[in-house]
Amino acid sequence: MKVKFVDLARQFNSLSAEIGLAISNVLESGNYILGENVRLLEDKLAELTDNKYAIAVANGTDALIIALRLLKIGPGDEVIVPVNSFVASAGAVCAVGAIPVFVDVDSNHNLCYHAVEAALSPRTKAIMPVHLSGRPAPMAEINEIAQRHGLYVVEDSAQAIGASYYGKKTGALGDIGAFSLHPLKNLGVAGDGGFITLSCPHLYERAMRLRNHGLIDRDTSVEWGYNSRLDEIQAAIALVKIQYLDEFNASFKMCADYYYAQLSDIVEVPVKDHNLDPVFHNYMILSDKRDELAAFMCQKGVETKIHYPILLCDQPAFKKYHKSELLFPVARELNAKKLSLPIYAELTTKEQTHVVESIRAFH
């Protein structure tokens, strides 16, 4: 049996009639940029994330960049970033001219708030927790630190749409939330896409300008902005899929529960916490023989991944920001052991069983 790490075509095939009609309607309308589909999607995304506003943009990276611009973070400012995220988290900080300050993570792969305290300086302007793999970061502690030191909190919620922390949705736990609609996400479109969430009307008005060249009308630009507009076709696809998001996320959780029940006695699995409602964008196990296990799984036809094999401090693009005395012991230990298993809404019971049986056979 072959088990793909992800199979995007399956989801499209199950929704092909609805998606095809939605795309056709957009093409027939002749309105392709910032039309009714985008406005309707923004309303639904705001409601989904317990926010007053959502602003659709071209991708998740732009969502982070614009969020930082909204908070007037720029050259000379420092932003706390977990050392084990995707490159876009730190890249967005660099894109506005600020400095990413990398800190270690906790055993749940999320930002360690103890490490945040130690990394603060007079130049620190914001903290960027990343809800890695759809598991919310320790936001109560992070927000307490931010409030005590007068800092902003920008949630990198790219992987966590629909997740909750103590009953409150990700993207509404800090000052601004940034999400991705990349095809691999739990709510993904057929290309790039993203959105920003917030509740401040003044920041909302500026965000609407920044995503569209700083324009206040057809011809007048009041500040340098971006060409970062989610197009109508992608918005129409998202409107189809958002109807099924709860169903998608429930399938992710059922798969995660199955892995937990079947694997917790032989490998380290994500710890359950009744205060958190993760969405399991990825499901990462820990194994002392990770590389051997991955090779064995490949022989069994099971595709696995590592999220992410290179820590941000070791990325060539970011090495100048790494202070040599910082060792990041937790992140390095996790990085040597973690392995992401196939998990998606369309993964069959038979495929999940094969994944489990392959891991148990290895051990």
Same domain for 217 and 342, yes or no, is no
Look up the CATH number of the domain holding residue 172: 3.40.640.10
168 and 306 in a single domain? The answer is no
1 inside domain = no
The token duo for 305 is 């991944």
Give the amino acid at 73: I
Q: In sequence order, what are the residues at sequence separation of 6 or more whose Cβ sits closer than 8 angstroms to the Cβ of residue 304?
A: 5, 294, 297, 298, 339, 340, 341, 342
In this predicted structure, what is the pLDDT of residue 179?
98
Residues 134, 191 within the same domain = yes
The pLDDT score that the predictor gives to residue 154 is 98
Q: Is residue 30 part of a domain?
A: yes
Distance CA 313, CA 101 (A): 9
- Six-digit token string for 224: 């340098």
User: Which of these three, 242, 264, 280, is where a domain ends?
Assistant: 242
Q: For residue 348, give its domain range.
A: 245-362
- Given this model, what pLDDT does residue 323 score? 78
Q: Report which secondary-structure segment, H or E, holds 32.
A: none
Q: What does residue 153 show for φ and ψ, rounded to 5 degrees?
A: -125, 115
With CA atoms as reference, report the closest residue to 185 among 116, 86, 261.
86
Give CA–CA dist 89/86, Å, rounded. Answer: 6
Instruction: Verify that 202 and 265 share a domain, yes or no.
Output: no
Establish if 2 belongs to a structural domain: no
Residue 352 forms part of a structural domain: yes
State the virtual CA torsion across 35, 209, 139, 158 in degrees, nearest 10.
Answer: 50
SS3 260: helix
Helix, strand, coil share of the chain (percent; to 5): 45, 15, 40
Beta-carbon count within 10 A of 50 CB: 17
211 lies in the same domain as 101? yes
Q: What pLDDT does 322 receive?
A: 83
DSSP 219-256: S-BSS---B---BHHHHHHHHHHHTTHHHHHHHHHHHH
- Predicted confidence at residue 200, as pLDDT, reads 97
Give a yes or no: residue 202 inside a domain. yes
Question: From first to last of its 363 residues, what are the pLDDT tens digits of the chain?
Answer: 999 999 999 999 999 999 999 999 999 999 999 999 999 999 999 999 999 999 999 999 999 999 999 999 999 999 999 999 999 999 999 999 999 999 999 999 999 999 999 999 999 999 999 999 999 999 999 999 999 999 999 999 999 999 999 999 999 999 999 999 999 999 999 999 999 999 999 999 999 999 999 999 999 999 999 999 999 999 999 999 999 999 999 999 999 999 999 999 999 999 999 999 999 999 999 999 999 999 999 999 999 999 999 999 999 999 899 877 778 999 999 999 999 999 999 999 999 999 999 999 999
Within this chain, do residues 277 and 182 fall inside the same structural domain, yes or no?
no
Domain boundary among 242, 266, 299: 242
Predicted model pTM: 0.97
Task: Return the closest-CA partner of residue 54 out of 155, 194, 159, 260.
Answer: 194
Same domain, 225 and 255: no
Q: In the chain, which ranges are continuous DSSP H helix?
A: 8-29, 36-48, 60-70, 87-95, 113-119, 139-149, 201-210, 232-242, 245-263, 290-299, 329-337, 349-362
CB-based contacts of 213, cutoff 8 Å, min separation 6: 221, 225, 226, 227
